[in-house]
Amino acid sequence: MSLKRIAVLISGSGSNLQAIMDAIDSGRINGQIVQVISNKACAYGLERATKAGIPTTHIDHKAFASREMFDDEVRQCIDAHQADLVILAGFMRILSPAFVQHFSGRMLNIHPSLLPKYKGLHTHKRALAAGDKEHGCTVHFVTEELDGGPLLVQAVVPIVTEDNEESLQNRVHKREHVAYPLAVEWICANRVHFSENGIHLDDELLDNSGFRLGYEA
């Protein structure tokens, strides 16, 4: 099976990018990152990629007159590298419908909540304010609805009484580094399929929450 060509879009630290690079290096993921694109020049993830010998591109969204024009530049960059899979890893831009449609079924995002709960920002604060006992992260396919596409993997963490926003964020972040490489591993091994009933992992139809990783998983 040929290696899947992966483009990763970031805006910041890139710790999820790092987790995926590490899983590739260890041979778990049948893929190669062909390009890391950031809309921020100072994103630390660009340094991580460069250190690993992965080509990077900075595309400044402020240099474009419209969202659509920026997105089109990013699309061209991804297509020029013939990426099979697009991974949003802390890419802090809302994507236009044309961009999302172009990569339909082959673009993933990670969101720091147990979707469909807490779409959007400040998820940890909102989970604490609601008095939730559990929180987590979700890897999902990207559709035009913000944080709304089909769910592939969820990792659950407990919320403890001493938690504040930062401690909860750190706990979730660690689980992101497990959930995202796992989702990418499955896709690159051709183990994930769509049908009219939902997402299948091998022969198993996943429920609407996706595959669920518990606290210890």
Q: Which residue numbers are catalytic?
A: 111
Shortest distance, position 203 Cβ to ligand GRF, whole Å: 30
Give yes or no for residue 126 binding ligand GRF (CB under 6 A): no
Give yes or no for residue 173 binding ligand GRF (CB under 6 A): yes
Distance of CA 22 to the CA centre of its chain: 15
Could you tell me whether strands 31-38 and 107-111 are parallel, antiparallel, or unpaired per DSSP bridges? Answer: unpaired
Shortest distance, position 42 Cβ to ligand GRF, whole Å: 12
Nearer to ligand GRF, 185 or 200 (CB): 185
- Rounded distance between C-alpha atoms, residue 83 and residue 101, angstroms: 15
Could you tell me whether strands 134-141 and 107-111 are parallel, antiparallel, or unpaired per DSSP bridges? Answer: antiparallel
Here's the x/- map for ligand GRF, 129-148, by CB under 6 A: it reads as --------x-----------
- Rounded distance between C-alpha atoms, residue 47 and residue 53, angstroms: 10
Nearer to ligand GRF, 7 or 137 (CB): 137
The contacts of residue 19 (CB under 8 Å, 6+ apart) are 176, 177, 178, 180, 181
What's at 200, amino acid-wise? H
Distance of CA 101 to the CA centre of its chain: 17
Shortest distance, position 11 Cβ to ligand GRF, whole Å: 7
For tokens 């990763």, the residue is 8
Per CB under 6 A, which region of 49-57, 59-67, 77-85, 110-118 contacts ligand GRF?
110-118
Nearer to ligand GRF, 65 or 184 (CB): 184
Give yes or no for residue 12 binding ligand GRF (CB under 6 A): yes
Give yes or no for residue 149 binding ligand GRF (CB under 6 A): no
Strand residue runs (E) in 12-106: 31-38, 56-58, 85-88
Give yes or no for residue 183 binding ligand GRF (CB under 6 A): no
> Where does this chain bind ligand GRF (CB under 6 A)?
12-16, 89-90, 110-112, 137, 173, 176
